[in-house]
Structure 1
């Protein structure tokens, strides 16, 4: 698990939220309606989801502080989908206001935690508050890339990419052993299957591929038994809620 401290994680979350807010500042109502690469989702859908997941993380922590567990989304996945569809068509300013309020709620409660409270149980993946905060970091960074506003995977930090690769190791099929060869960095291995596949490319591209996003810095090259092969088909996200 990533070795950044809880205080550093809050700093990363604040920076991610600031990046989202900065990129949303110049959007027009027409920009909100632009389709993204996520099937069936416009920018408005992504923006509605960012606000919704922010409130969901805050809700997990607020209940944890009371010694209670509650489902991640109020009303479950069905209510989540309905809320995103209902809010996707809001004006750009409505989205900005909603996201700003949600950021304030989530970051305020996380910033106020003491060391022991980061280990309080939450319902998300039967984990603790820190697990929810890490998930929030993933959601903010990845969905900002989905908005296609100049903060794509090529801007992801080495720290974030290495954490994301570690988290997404569960996407490797059971029969595959992946050897990741990020340029200018030590090799990494994922999976324990008998079918060995090596993948070479930029670290950000490897992280993008594992997260289901399009690599932006060049072509990833996959090889098996010294022959070029297609990139493996990955398993679903190891998450109670996925970045779509």
Structure 2
């Protein structure tokens, strides 16, 4: 890799690569029946999650490839409908075919990342009308979160502090208007999240850092979370949907 700056970005790439290796190895080592079993993502089998990861890896790779050339391209051919059809098609493949397709897309992503140079990081992408950094962080989120969804020995408890904190920042968009969340990870400094007007209700959410991050990401925390409002114990507040990109929303 020719990037020379951005320690947080280097960590993102490293964790993305680690998940990619683990995902590929599990698929290679397990049976076709096992990949048809349910994942933690409601209504999705492991095969469907793997098919999505194949597609999103290729999608992020082409965002990076086109950005490096100074060009824009949609996240998925055919937008959301194309994405969904692609998942259905690849999820129906036999294991060895799905593994080959996954390996190809992960290879495309690794090659696109390897080709990046420092000056490419600010290049524009169509994903969220953002930059190469945004696309890289999308790949980081997708591979690490869905790695946990697959129920293959990796959970949100394995998420790093940096990844969990990144989710705090990215998922602030899920906070309803006129709501303020004070996130209090045990043994760490609190983090306040708000989205627009904060004149309404304030909640304090306490628990392990990774459990708070999992809840923000719409996943079931491994441990217990507690929520408080005006010194009273309350249910965890409802959150808005996962923030959609400006082009071809990724559904979680």
TM-score normalized with structure 1 length: 0.94
Unpaired runs of at least 5, structure 2: 1-5
Aligned partners of 1:153 and 1:204 also within 8 Å: yes
The residue aligned with 1:38 is: 41
Residue 231 in structure 1 maps to residue 236 in structure 2? yes
1:126, distance to aligned residue in structure 2 (A): 0.4
Residue 81 in structure 1 maps to residue 87 in structure 2? no
Aligned partners of 2:15 and 2:144 also within 8 Å: no
How many residues align? The count is 241
TM-score normalized with structure 2 length: 0.91
Aligned partners of 1:222 and 1:229 also within 8 Å: yes
Aligned partners of 1:139 and 1:243 also within 8 Å: no
Q: After the TM superposition, which residues 1-244 of structure 1 pair with which residues of structure 2 at under 5 Å, given as runs?
A: 4-191=7-194, 192-216=198-222, 218-240=223-245, 241-242=249-250, 244=252
Partner SS state of residue 73, structure 1:
coil
Aligned partners of 1:73 and 1:80 also within 8 Å: yes
Deviates more, 1:229-238 or 1:186-195: 186-195
Distance in 2 (alpha carbons) for counterparts of 1:113 and 1:62: 9
Distance in 2 (alpha carbons) for counterparts of 1:30 and 1:174: 45
Specify whether residues 37 and 167 from structure 1 end up closer, same or farther in structure 2 by C-alpha distance, changes over 3 A only.
same
Distance in 2 (alpha carbons) for counterparts of 1:205 and 1:242: 23
Deviates more, 1:9-18 or 1:79-88: 9-18
Distance in 1 (alpha carbons) for counterparts of 2:244 and 2:15: 20
Q: Which runs of 4+ in 1 moved over 3 A?
A: 3-9
Distance in 2 (alpha carbons) for counterparts of 1:124 and 1:212: 21
Distance in 1 (alpha carbons) for counterparts of 2:10 and 2:166: 17
Distance in 2 (alpha carbons) for counterparts of 1:81 and 1:242: 10
Partner SS state of residue 67, structure 1:
coil
Distance in 1 (alpha carbons) for counterparts of 2:110 and 2:201: 43
Unpaired runs of at least 5, structure 1: none
Q: What do you get for the CA RMSD once the two structures are aligned?
A: 1.5
